[in-house]
Amino acid sequence: MNALEKTLVKMKKNNVKCECNCTFEKLTTLGCGGKIYLTLFPESVSQLVFVAKYLYRHKITHCFLGHGSNVLASDDFYNGVAVVTSFVRDFSVQGDTVVASCGMSTSKLCSQLVNRGLTGGEFFGCLPATVGGAVVCNAGCFGQSVQDVVQSVVVLHNGKREKLSKEQCRFVKRGSIFKNNGDFLVLQVKMRFEKSTPAKVQEKLSQMRQKKAATQPLGCRSAGCVLFNDKIALSKLIDEAHLKGYRVGGAQVSEKHAGFVINLDKATSTDIYLLIRYIKKTLAEKFGVSAKLEVCLVNFPTDAEQLF
């Protein structure tokens, strides 16, 4: 048996849910990407740690996914292991402090905050993500982001469990020490919120969701904003460049929010990748503005992201 076949046997023997030939199309919000040799679905932090340590120890090609809402995976076959964390969703609360496992959905987290009258995390209800994925990308919207509420993060760092302070996470706009860094796996996140009332928190959340529905293409498959600049709102410039509605194959710049690239009509990952590169090139030529890639690339050539 080769290493991947041995991995499948080992995971089944240890009661880890497995699926062969699953696709990134199924596992990502963009709805595109190739087949995967083996996909694993751990259901607890301890099981996730077991899986991760095995993959590290045996040097198995792998990637970790939450809801796949910030991921663009290539159309090619992935000869490795994808680990889906969305069943690792333990949650506890003590006063104004919350501890959530990496796979808990941000919408479920937000519901818990509403029920307990804890404010400061309403933006989580507008993110199609897991808590772990949100931390990795320092996700946020409407002027709030993950770094505003994080107290500490428990990670697996080169196979060893560690607790990092907020400062050690090195949060930046739409990024952290964890993004595109295979040495780290986020396991649990400790967050702190402010006390309010359920009614007030719900009102604030409703206002955010109304604004989101009015400005973003919620009914379309996308990964949210695909590019960002540390100082400038790129969606306005993309609009001024008359790129709304611009297409490459089945991929399109959203006509509702210029920062979004949507899978309009059976887009391939290559369609989306080429469209993002075209947007970046146009912004540089027309406005002299640099754009950084916000989505994470999986199973692309190693120099693919350098082209951004």
Q: Which active-site residues does the annotation give? A: 174, 225, 294
| Residues 305, 297 contacting (CB under 8 angstroms) | yes
**With helix as H, strand as E and coil as C, how does 271-296 read?**
HHHHHHHHHHHHHHHHHCCCCEECCE
Cα angle 31, 112, 122; round to 5 = 70
Beta bridge partners of 37: none
Angle between helix 106-116 and 198-215 (nearest 10): 150
Secondary structure class of 299 (helix, strand, coil): coil
Which tokens is 56 given?
Answer: 């590290």
Which residues have a Cβ under 8 Å from the Cβ of 260 and sit 6 or more positions away?
Answer: 216, 217, 220, 222, 224, 225, 226, 253, 254
Q: Which of 113, 137, 89, 75 is nearest to 272 (CA)?
A: 75
